[in-house]
Structure 1
């Protein structure tokens, strides 16, 4: 059974398996991974998990900025990550309120659709009335996930990473 949980250091090995499936780079949206994060060692991983917990901030939509990170797990297997960014920062304007990534071997099972639905509940609880989601124009799987959760296409815009679809979901 799928669950959304707070990041935890005890899932280091499972998270690394998912991370290695993606290959090199920082392309797992939803995990909050930055270039300076060292996640291979248990100590570095624990420090990263602690940083994610600190990033949660005030957990209020009135806060200037903050982010809630959740891992998508099934049993003890990390299937992906999802992040709810709140506050209307430049980062949110460019990448959206919610970002997610599903490990390649778990795609096509509805995991992202399920996780996005649960994260929309967290957004409502924070008092948000709508959320922006952004995906690459050629990422049809992500576009479908967003549309299944009520996303309405606002526009397609050029970004530094290529053209992107911009969707709004009313809460």
Structure 2
């Protein structure tokens, strides 16, 4: 059964195949994934480059880790089925004004070949105890108004719609459910 786990080097082959799928699909240049492809895409094919990338992802959870202005500490988790990379999720430890409006606490993505299999719903469900462990009682999740799949994932996990603004639906989910 797939599980969320901290990033690990042992899934490099599957991870790289997933990145090829994302690149073939086209990535939004404003996403975290696009930033990582730009920064690490040339080195993560090498085992040492991939190990550096994994270490960087793990360090993002630490308050003292340098990060771009406006970025907050976040816990990166990968959704793995054995050594198969299915998706990823990030839990932002706190909200900036921007994240409160448009980004939320949690962002997630499932690799294209694994979509429509319930993985996003399971990932979000498994992430709620992690968020609770970070002291977050309720998480904010946002999705584009037109993203019906993400809306269903959020609602299946108890998301309560607060409002719509800036082209986004904004939901809150209690982490103690």
Q: TM-score, structure 1 length as denominator?
A: 0.84
Q: Please give the alpha-carbon distance, in whole angstroms, between the structure 1 residues aligned to 2:92 and 2:163.
A: 20
- Find the counterpart in structure 2 of residue 15 from structure 1: 15
Contact (CA 8 Å) 2:10, 2:83: kept in 1 or not? no
Higher fraction of strand: 1
Higher fraction of helix: 2
Distance 1:19 1:68, change over 3 A: same
Pairwise mapping of residues 1-171 of structure 1 onto structure 2 (< 5 A)? 1-23=1-23, 24-25=26-27, 33-34=35-36, 35-38=38-41, 39-57=44-62, 65-90=72-97, 92-93=99-100, 94-158=102-166, 163-171=167-175
Q: 1:13, CA displacement in angstroms?
A: 0.9
Q: CA RMSD in A?
A: 2.3
User: Deviations 1:99-136 (Å, cap 9, x if unpaired)?
Assistant: 00001111111111111011011111222111111112
User: Deviations 1:35-70 (Å, cap 9, x if unpaired)?
Assistant: 322333333322211111111115xxxxx9421111
Contact (CA 8 Å) 2:6, 2:77: kept in 1 or not? yes
Q: TM-score, structure 2 length as denominator?
A: 0.81
Distance 1:81 1:30, change over 3 A: farther
Q: Please give the alpha-carbon distance, in whole angstroms, between the structure 1 residues aligned to 2:92 and 2:55.
A: 17
Q: Please give the alpha-carbon distance, in whole angstroms, between the structure 2 residues aligned to 1:138 and 1:17.
A: 28
